[in-house]
Amino acid sequence: MDLGMLIFFYIMKLNHVQRKEKKFLKVGIIRFPCSNCDFDTLHFFQKFNHKAEFVWHKETHLKPFDLLVLPGGFAFGDRVYKKATGKYILDPGTQALNSPVMVAIYQAAKKDLPILGICNGFQILVKAGLLPGVLKQNKSKQFFCDWTTCEIMGNSFFNDKSLLHQTFKIPVAHGYGRYDISQREYQELERNGQIFLKFKNSNPNGSTKNIAGVSNKKGTIFGLMPHPERTSNGKYFMRAIEKYIYG
C-alpha cells in the first residue's frame, strides 16, 4: 500500500472517531457579586463533559455560547441601598438589573438563545421581565432549606416530553421564592404549557398553585426555584438540556 492510500485511510479513521465523540455544550455562567451557587453550576455541567465558564457581571459582550445560566445565590446580597452606607431593603434580583451584563442577556434573549435561571437566577429573570410573574417573600417569612418533591408538567423542562409527570427530589434554599400571579395569568400560563414544574405534597414557600418553575411563551427561557444542579437526578435535567440544544 502506497503512502497516499495510508494517509487516506488515516484521515477516514480520524473522521470516524471524531463523529463518535460526544458533543459538548458551550455554557456561560453569569456571576454577580455574592453569587454562591456558581461553582455548583459550573461543576454540574463539567461533570457531563460540557465546556462551562464564568461570565463576570461587568461583561457587555458574550462569547458564542449554546446556553446561558444565571445561578443561585444572593446577587449583591439581595440588598438595594439608597446610599452606599445607608439603609437598605431586601429585594432579590433588583440590583443585578443594573449590571452591564444584563444588556448582553437581553440581546441573547431576543436571539432566542436558551437561558436558564436557578433560584436567584430565576428571581433576576423575573425582575428583568424575561419571565412572567412575581417572586415574593416566603409565606412563612422564613428562609427555607430542605428537599422537596417536584413534578414535571406543562411543556416540560426544556420541552423534554419524556419527563412529563415524573417526580424528582430536588433541594430548595430561599427566602423569597413564593411565585405569585393572578388567576387570569395562571390560566394563561397553564394554557400555554409554561408552568413546567410544581411542588408536590408540600409547598415550601406558599407559591400560587404550587408553582416551582416557569418558562417564557417561546419556550427559550426557563426559571425555577429548586436546584437541579444539586440533585442526584441531575442527569435527567442535563439530558433535557442537551436534547433541546442538539435538536
Active-site annotation holder among 37, 151, 174, 227: 227
Burial of 9 (0-12, 13-18, 19+ CB in 10 A): exposed
CA 194 to CA 228: how far, in whole Å? Answer: 18
Active-site annotation holder among 119, 151, 174, 242: 119
Q: Alpha carbon of 111 to those of 9, 22, 24, 104, 159: distances in Å? A: 42, 26, 21, 11, 18
Report which secondary-structure segment, H or E, holds 11.
helix 3-20
229 catalytic residue (yes or no):
yes
119 catalytic residue (yes or no):
yes
Active-site annotation holder among 50, 174, 229, 242: 229
Cell of 30: 453569569
| Burial state string for 32-44 with b = 16 or more CB within 10 A and e = fewer than 16 | beebebbebbbeb
Residues designated catalytic: 119, 227, 229
